[in-house]
Amino acid sequence: MQDIKEVSSILSDRITALSESQTIAMAKKARELAAQGHDVINLSFGEPDFQTPQYIKDAAKKAIDDGFTFYTPVPGYPELRQAIADKFKRDNNLDYKPENIVVSTGAKQSIANAVMCLVNPGDEVIIFSPYWVSYEEIVKLAEGVPVQVMGSLENDFKVTPAQLEAAITSNTKLIMYSSPCNPTGSVFTAEELLGLAKVLEKYPKVHVIADEIYEYINFEGEHASMASFDFIKDRVITVNGFSKGYAMTGWRVGYIAAHKDIAAACDKMQSQITSGTCSIAQKAAYAALQGGKDSAIEMRNAYFRRRNLVLELMNDIPGFKTNVPEGAFYIFPDVSYYFGMSYEGKTIQNALDLCMYLLTDALVAVVSGEAFGAPQCVRFSYATSDEKLVEALRRIKESLAKLQ
């Protein structure tokens, strides 16, 4: 096959403007080094290290044997949508009907659907920063204008109502955040969400994508949902899924709960793109919900133990400034203390340089905060074994000590 000489003249502006996911790019580099025989410890992954629980796998096998091999309804099997509505009642005290629920191919598609359905070219989308890498790119794909509002480390990286209000303009259409947050592990309390909701009450055009995919990985207190405030519930699209809580990343099942008209729009959107989620994966997701939360709680307990371990080990590394993550499985220290330092003639200018240094010198893969809107930070995932975490932090400490 011939090489295309001028790729940019052939590909659309849309795809040319899109950034490759830095988390995936880092994981790729780490794999390359590992393939060359290096003992790389990968802390760049955004996924549980646990296997999907056995009862869920069994349900998927049964679904194949029972003949669930045909197209499903676009927004998902009715019994799965009902089970998700029941989950919202059980866990979040939220009343939804199946017509409010759309099941998609991962929460990533749920978010993309909602953004495509709500954002017109030029609409501003306020993204609480630090943010999950894909938010900004999805907004750009919809020709929206991402507006980052930065939470400070001193405030646990949380955006305040005053910051939100200051960022809203007549062009604001949407705000997006995750809680528990990837990458900071911060968790909004009900009181904090109420403060934000009260601001939004004054701006009836503004909608919210509340990404709650890490709901079950919460170390302190209750999970709180923006949709629990009746006065803005119809404007909140709650995103959740099975990837994190049930260790089902590869199955690709996410969902939204939203006003029925927004849900119908998302249904229409995916009818033209994927025709809905894999039938087998939907059956597995249904079984996951029927099985309750025991396996999710067990995994949450392991993340909690690892969070404490990593915090303790990081305390021992000079110059790392961090909040105490209350959920998810990431820690996001400010590493700017090391900027300007050198090793063997090479100067660390930014977090990306530091990540490259840690990958080559310590053989530990982490992700630069630039990808998350915080170029002074680095994201460590602690979804790996205690032994690997201890060894990774030991190597990192040793490598950082060489910088002058």
**Among residues 46 and 333, whose Cβ is nearest to ligand PLP?**
46
**Among residues 46 and 369, whose Cβ is nearest to ligand PLP?**
46
From the CB of 212, what's the least distance to ligand PLP, in Å? 9
**Among residues 144 and 399, whose Cβ is nearest to ligand PLP?**
144
From the CB of 403, what's the least distance to ligand PLP, in Å? 30
Instruction: Find the binder of ligand PLP among 132, 177, 216, 372 (CB under 6 A).
Output: 132
Sign of the four-CA dihedral 71, 74, 75, 77: negative
**Among residues 100 and 178, whose Cβ is nearest to ligand PLP?**
178
How many residues form the binding site for ligand PLP (CB under 6 A)?
13
Instruction: Find the binder of ligand PLP among 178, 186, 322, 323 (CB under 6 A).
Output: 178
User: What is the pattern of x (binds ligand PLP, CB under 6 A) and - over residues 90-119?
Assistant: ----------------xxx-----------
| 241 three-class SS | strand
Give buried/exposed letters for 285-301 (b at 16+ CB in 10 A, else e): bbbbbeeebebbeebbe
Q: Left if phi > 0, otherwise alpha if psi is -120 to 50, otherwise beta: which for 76?
A: left
> What is d(CA 404, CA 342) in angstroms, rounded to the nearest whole number?
5
Q: Left if phi > 0, otherwise alpha if psi is -120 to 50, otherwise beta: which for 67?
A: left
Q: How far is CA 301 from the centre of its chain?
A: 20
**Among residues 254 and 333, whose Cβ is nearest to ligand PLP?**
254
Instruction: Find the binder of ligand PLP among 249, 274, 350, 360 (CB under 6 A).
Output: 249
**Among residues 177 and 357, whose Cβ is nearest to ligand PLP?**
177
- The amino acid present at 277, given as its one-letter code, is T
From the CB of 176, what's the least distance to ligand PLP, in Å? 10
> Taking CB under 6 A as the rule, does residue 171 contact ligand PLP?
no
From the CB of 266, what's the least distance to ligand PLP, in Å? 15
**Among residues 213 and 365, whose Cβ is nearest to ligand PLP?**
213
**Among residues 104 and 295, whose Cβ is nearest to ligand PLP?**
104
> What is d(CA 242, CA 368) in angstroms, rounded to the nearest whole number?
26
Rg (the chain; Cα; Å): 21
Q: Please list, in sequence order, all residues whose beta carbon lies within 8 angstroms of the beta carbon of residue 401, skipping any fewer than 6 positions away.
A: none
Instruction: Find the binder of ligand PLP among 75, 185, 254, 325 (CB under 6 A).
Output: 254
With residues binned 3-state (H G I as helix, E B as strand, rest as coil), the percentages for the chain, rounded to 5, are 45, 15, 40
- Residue owning tokens 């809580």: 245
Task: Tally the residues of the chain.
Answer: 404
**Among residues 88 and 338, whose Cβ is nearest to ligand PLP?**
88
DSSP annotation of 3 reads P
From the CB of 42, what's the least distance to ligand PLP, in Å? 15
Which 181-240 positions form the footprint of ligand PLP (CB under 6 A)? Answer: 182, 211, 213
Q: Which residue is nearest to ligand PLP (CB)?
A: 106
Which 30-89 positions form the footprint of ligand PLP (CB under 6 A)? Answer: 46
The region of 166-174, 241-249, 350-358, 363-371 touching ligand PLP under the rule CB under 6 A is 241-249
| Contact assessment for residue 339 and residue 363, using Cβ atoms and an 8 Å cutoff | no
**Among residues 107 and 310, whose Cβ is nearest to ligand PLP?**
107
Q: E strands, 203-310, where?
A: 207-211, 236-241, 254-257
Q: Quick one: which of 102, 132, 105 has its CA closest to 117?
A: 102
> What is d(CA 234, CA 208) in angstroms, rounded to the nearest whole number?
10
From the CB of 83, what's the least distance to ligand PLP, in Å? 17
Q: Quick one: which of 139, 103, 127 has its CA closest to 257?
A: 103
Instruction: Find the binder of ligand PLP among 53, 146, 185, 241 (CB under 6 A).
Output: 241
**Among residues 253 and 403, whose Cβ is nearest to ligand PLP?**
253
From the CB of 242, what's the least distance to ligand PLP, in Å? 7
> What is d(CA 276, CA 274) in angstroms, rounded to the nearest whole number?
5
DSSP annotation of 334 reads B
Give the pairing type, strands 367-368 and 101-104. Answer: unpaired
Q: Which parts of this chain interact with ligand PLP (CB under 6 A)?
A: 46, 106-108, 132, 178, 182, 211, 213, 241, 243, 249, 254
